[in-house]
């Protein structure tokens, strides 16, 4: 089931981001205008449904922080 959740998750994001991981032939470029956000997915085993959740990045000092290994971005948990 984990593989199905991952595939649904990757198909949801309509862009290429992080080449080699989230790379789509039908959407070959990064699209920050529409997809500068976090996409989370979860599987409910009781209903057998996959839920996709979008979370916006938190603005810090008037600009959106970019995620890097050295710089952990805070999540906006308000849905």
Q: Which of 16-20, 61-65, 75-79 has the highest mean pLDDT?
A: 16-20
The SS3 assignment for 78 reads: coil
**Mean pLDDT, rounded, for 59-68:** 59
Task: Please say if the pLDDT value at position 18 is more than 90.
Answer: no
27 or 58: which leads in pLDDT: 27
Contact 75, 55 (CB under 8 A): yes
pLDDT in tens, 28-50: 999 999 998 888 888 999 999 99
Domain boundaries, given as residue ranges, for the chain? 2-64
Task: Please say if the pLDDT value at position 73 is more than 70.
Answer: no
């Amino acid at each position: 089931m984990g593989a199905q959740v991952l595939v649904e998750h990757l198909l949801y994001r309509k862009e290429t981001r992080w080449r080699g991981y989230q790379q789509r032939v039908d959407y070959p470029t990064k699209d920050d205008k529409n997809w500068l956000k976090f996409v989370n997915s979860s599987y409910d085993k009781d209903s057998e449904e996959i839920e996709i959740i979008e979370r916006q990045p938190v603005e810090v000092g008037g600009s959106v922080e970019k995620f890097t290994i050295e710089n952990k971005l805070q999540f906006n948990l308000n849905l």
